[in-house]
Amino acid sequence: MKGLADYFFSKGSFWDTIGMFYQSAVFIYGTTLLMAYALLAIMSLISIRRYMKKNASIDYNIIVESPLAPGISVIAPAYNEGITIISNVRSLLTFNYPKFEVIIINDGSTDDTLEKLVTEFELVHVDYAFREKLNSEPIKRIFKSTNRAYDKLIVVDKVNGKSKADASNAGINISSYEYFLCTDVDCILDKDTLIKLIKPFMDEETTKIKEVGEPCVECGYVHIQEDNRKVIATGATLRMVNSCEVDEGLMIRVRPPQRLLPRFQEMEYIRAFVLGKMGWDLINAVPNVSGGLGMFDKEIAVKAGGYDSKSFGEDMDLITRMCCFMKDNKRKYSVKYVPVTLCWTEGPTTLKVFGRQRSRWGRGIAQIMSIHRKVIFNPRYGRLGLIVFPYNFLFELLAPMIEFTGILFYIYLILTRQINWPFAIILVIFVYTYSVMITTLALLWDQITFKYYKTWGETIGLCLMAFIEPFIYHPLIVFFAIKGYFNFITGRQHTWGNMQRQGFGMQKKKSTANAG
């Protein structure tokens, strides 16, 4: 025992032991993460092929023409969106779907958002009866249009709730239909968005039917028992609208962003949705539905408490509570993802706005892991507790901190001349090559399958971003995530913030000018 103590506390031995343990732990962590990415890539391939095969011969006009199609409420909170609000609302009113309403929540904007809506869509104040199921700041007025062309539009003017979650809850309270789609008002949505997102609800309500028992004595038939797996939410791929051609809220031409920061985000989004979420979709372990585009079962969302206005990751928080509600009530559920791009959102073009967004995301995941810590490794919550939350905790929450400490440790090894340079160089080259390969695979698979870009030159140009991502973009992600963790620990306040929109009309003019 004395010899062991002498070993650990002798000069240098203790820290050498700590260093060896850290290197071993990081090696195991990194190897597991790389294997997880490879597995996700394989599962994504299978999932997308299944989706394409299943939907290849489907006539969506059957849903459009059906009087039995379920109603959908489209909810879009808006705060100081005067630059793009008209184009966005026009986009939301063009859905190819028989039964829907569009609810715009003006969350106490201080610019001309509401005035533009009133003028453009001929709105008047109306008495509107609704039942307040979820908490939100008070609603001041509700507007409807005097023009029958806009009879699907409802505009809600409310006291600022300092969060998108609060505004979304107000929209849910106003909504009339059994499903709601929550989006950002700065998004451009495909005209078939509602059809594509409602279809999983219609397909998967009953997943399999089992024969039970012997033939009935009274009727002579073998009775069947339905094994229901209720779809509670669906999502789809998002891309950047930056540099795309948009006319009156309609997507005319899809292009990769020209500016560097949104271009990195385009690459990141495709990889996250096509490779990540479609991979998780195969085993019914989708971690969250994006706040930019998600359709939900309203009954389950309301029973789960709706959006948490104090949450910084309200989209993942809502899905988590909906899943927990289903498991607590011993009901089978699924969260589905559609691999096609149905939403284009304006990505931040300045480092200041981008940093604010990503710090908020980092703070959000830290908050969710803290609030829902009972779920982690809890078999009671099935895949949510044994797959989704452990993965998010280990490889989403901890990853930036492990990377940061790893860099510091490498610097220490270099300064103390303890680094094994041949091994270190081989390791760095392997990780770099693997990262480029995974990103390129996602981008090429997306283009081969869906062909969103008109030329392969645009796709190859986006693939080249993967080669410089580890040196420019990824360090920013790590830095802002850690900043978000710090904000969570210190309890800094957060409000909506100003996105400083560029405006889709400007983008169209610029794209047209460049084309000429």
Write down the pLDDT at residue 153: 97
Residue 496 has pLDDT above 50, yes or no: no
Q: Specify the pLDDT at position 498.
A: 53
- Establish if 410 belongs to a structural domain: yes
Give the residue with greater pLDDT, 485 vs 494: 485
**Residue 7 maps to a domain:** no
Q: What pLDDT score does 495 carry?
A: 53
Stretch 471-491: mean pLDDT, rounded? 95
pLDDT at 514: 38
| Residue 221 included in any domain | no
pLDDT band for position 510 (cuts 50, 70, 90): very low
pLDDT range class, residue 84, cuts 50, 70, 90 = confident
Q: What's the pLDDT tens digit per position in 177-199?
A: 999 999 988 888 999 999 999 99
Mean predicted confidence (pLDDT) in 244-273: 92
Predicted local confidence at residue 503, as pLDDT: 55
What domain range includes position 488?
Answer: 25-213+232-516
Q: Is the pLDDT of residue 506 over 50?
A: no
Confidence class for position 410, pLDDT limits 50, 70, 90: confident
pTM, two decimals, is 0.87
**What does the alpha-carbon distance between residue 287 and residue 285 come to, in Å, rounded to a whole number?**
6
Q: Is residue 17 part of a domain?
A: no
Average pLDDT over residues 32-46: 94
Query: Among 22-31, 210-219, 430-439, where is mean pLDDT lowest?
Result: 210-219
Q: SS3 letters for 104-144?
A: EEEECCCCCHHHHHHHHCCEEECCCCCCCCCCCCCEEEEEE
Spatial distance between the Cα atoms of 23 and 418, rounded to a whole number of angstroms: 13
Q: How many domains does the chain have?
A: 1
Average pLDDT, the chain: 87
Would you say residue 18 lies in a domain?
no
Q: Average of pLDDT values for 87-110?
A: 92
- Report the CATH number that the domain containing residue 97 is assigned in CATH: 3.90.550.10
Our CA dihedral for 111, 116, 118, 119, rounded to 10 degrees, sits at 140
State how far the Cα of 377 lies from the Cα of 392, in Å rounded to an integer. 12
Residue 243 has pLDDT above 80, yes or no: yes
Plot region of 436 (φ>0 → left; ψ -120 to 50 → alpha; else → beta) = alpha
* Residue 16 forms part of a structural domain: no
The mean pLDDT of 318-322, rounded to a whole number, is 96
Domain contains 245: yes
**Per the structure block, which two tokens stand in for 121?**
């869509």
Whether residue 6 lies inside any domain: the answer is no
